[in-house]
Amino acid sequence: MKQLLLLLCLGMAFPAVSSDAVELLHRSTIDDVGRYIHLSPIVTGDGSYEGFVATDADVDRVDVYDDQGHLLDSILLSRNAVQSLARLSENRDTLVVYVLQDTTGEDWSGGGVVGFRLPRITVVTLAGDLIDRTTVNPNLVDTYNPYNSTKHAEATCGLEFSFDENFHPTGVVLRVNLTVSESELTMGSRTSKGQRYLRYDLALATEVIRESVGNFVIGNFSDEVGSGFATTANWYASVNDDPWNSGTSQGTIIEVGATDSTHIVDHHSGGASDYLFSGDFSESADLDEIIYAGFATDLTGVDSVLDKYWACYGFDDTVLNEIWRIPRPNGFRPHHYLPGLNAIVGVVVRQSIYTLDCATGAYVEEVALPHPLYSAAFLPGSSQPLPDIFGRLADTIFVYGLSTPTDVHDDPHAELPSSYSLQQNYPNPFNPTTSISFKLPQAADVSLKVYNVLGQWVQTLVSGELPAGTHSVQWNGTASTGVPVSSGVYLYRLQAGEYSATRKMLLLK
The top-scoring range by mean pLDDT among 99-108, 142-151, 246-255, 427-436 is 427-436
Provide mean pLDDT across the span 37-65: 89
Task: Share the mean pLDDT of the chain.
Answer: 78
Residue 274 has pLDDT above 50, yes or no: yes
Q: Which of 194, 326, 181 is nearest to 253 (CA)?
A: 194
Q: φ and ψ at 413, to 5 degrees?
A: -95, 0
DSSP string covering 265-288: EEEEESSEEEEEEEE---TT-SS-
Q: How confident is the model at residue 288, as a pLDDT?
A: 87
> What integer pLDDT is reported at residue 459 of this predicted model?
92
Task: Tell me the percentage of the chain whose pLDDT exceeds 70.
Answer: 78
* pLDDT value for 7: 27
Cβ-based neighbours of 174, under 8 Å, separated by 6 or more: 100, 119, 121, 138, 157, 158, 159, 196, 197, 198, 199, 200
Selected residue with higher pLDDT from 267 and 187: 267
What is the phi/psi pair of residue 334, to 5°?
Answer: -70, 150
Report the CATH number of the 421-507 domain: 2.60.40.4070
Mean pLDDT on 245-274: 72
Burial of 86 (0-12, 13-18, 19+ CB in 10 A): buried
> Which pLDDT band holds residue 229 (cuts at 50, 70, 90)?
confident
**Could you give the residue range(s) of every CATH 2.60.40.4070 domain in the chain?**
421-507
Neighbouring residues of 13: CB distance < 8 A, sequence distance ≥ 6? none
Please give the pLDDT value at position 495.
94
pLDDT of residue 252: 76
DSSP string of 171-200, one letter each residue: EEEEEEEEEEEEEETTTEEEEEEEEEEEEE
Measured between alpha carbons, how far apart are the two ends of the chain, in Å? 30
* pLDDT the model gives residue 416: 74
pLDDT (tens digit per residue) in 71-91: 999 999 877 888 999 999 888
Write the burial class of residue 434 (CB in 10 Å: 0-12 exposed, 13-18 middle, 19+ buried).
buried
What is the pLDDT, as a whole number, of residue 296? 67
Buried-state track 4-34, b at ≥16 Cβ within 10 A, e below 16: ebebebeeeebbeebeebbeebbebebeebe
Q: How would residue 301 be classed by pLDDT, with cut points 50, 70 and 90? A: low
CB 269 within 8 A of CB 283: no
Q: Is the pLDDT of residue 324 over 90?
A: no
DSSP β-bridge partners for residue 193:
179, 236
pLDDT tens digits along 283-292: 777 788 888 8
Q: Which of 213-222, 295-304, 390-399, 465-474 has the lowest mean pLDDT?
A: 295-304
pLDDT above 60 for 3? no
- What band does 17 get if pLDDT is binned at 50, 70 and 90? very low
Q: What is the mean pLDDT of residues 131-154?
A: 67
Residue 188 pLDDT: 67
Q: What average pLDDT does this structure show over 176-187?
A: 72
pLDDT of amino acid 151: 63
pLDDT score of 11 = 29
Confidence category of residue 411, pLDDT binned at 50, 70, 90: very low
pLDDT of residue 245: 61
Q: pLDDT at position 109, please?
A: 38
Flag the least confident range among 75-84, 165-174, 380-389, 427-436.
380-389
430: which DSSP letter?
A: B
Give the start-end residues of each E strand in 453-487.
457-466, 469-475
Question: Is a pLDDT exceeding 90 seen at residue 167?
Answer: no
* pLDDT band of 14, cuts 50, 70, 90: very low
User: What does each C-alpha distance from 91 to 174, 200, 274 come to in angstroms?
Assistant: 26, 22, 36
DSSP state at residue 33: G
DSSP summary character for residue 456: -
Read off the pTM: 0.70
How confident is the model at residue 244, as a pLDDT? 56
How large a percentage of the chain has pLDDT more than 90? 17
* pLDDT tens, position by position, 185-215: 556 677 778 888 999 999 988 989 888 888 8
pLDDT above 50: residue 107: no
Residue 113 pLDDT: 37
Average pLDDT over residues 257-267: 72
Q: Which pLDDT value is given to residue 413? A: 41
CA atoms in the 13 A half-sphere facing the CB of 440 = 19
- Is the pLDDT assigned to residue 54 strictly greater than 90? yes
* pLDDT confidence of residue 381: 66
Q: Is the pLDDT of residue 359 over 70?
A: yes
Tell me the average pLDDT across 163-184.
Answer: 81
The DSSP secondary-structure symbol of 5 reads: -
- Least confidently predicted of 2-6, 42-46, 250-254: 2-6
Q: Picking from 16-20, 300-304, 346-350, 360-364, which range would have the lowest pLDDT averaged per residue? A: 16-20
Q: List, in sequence order, every residue forming a beta bridge with 478; answer none if it has no partner.
A: 484
What's the pLDDT score for residue 84? 93
Question: What is the Cα–Cα distance from 286 to 290, expressed in whole angstroms?
Answer: 13
pLDDT (0 to 100) of residue 102: 80
Q: What is the pLDDT of residues 433-480, one digit of tens each?
A: 888 888 899 888 999 999 998 889 999 998 888 888 888 788 888 888
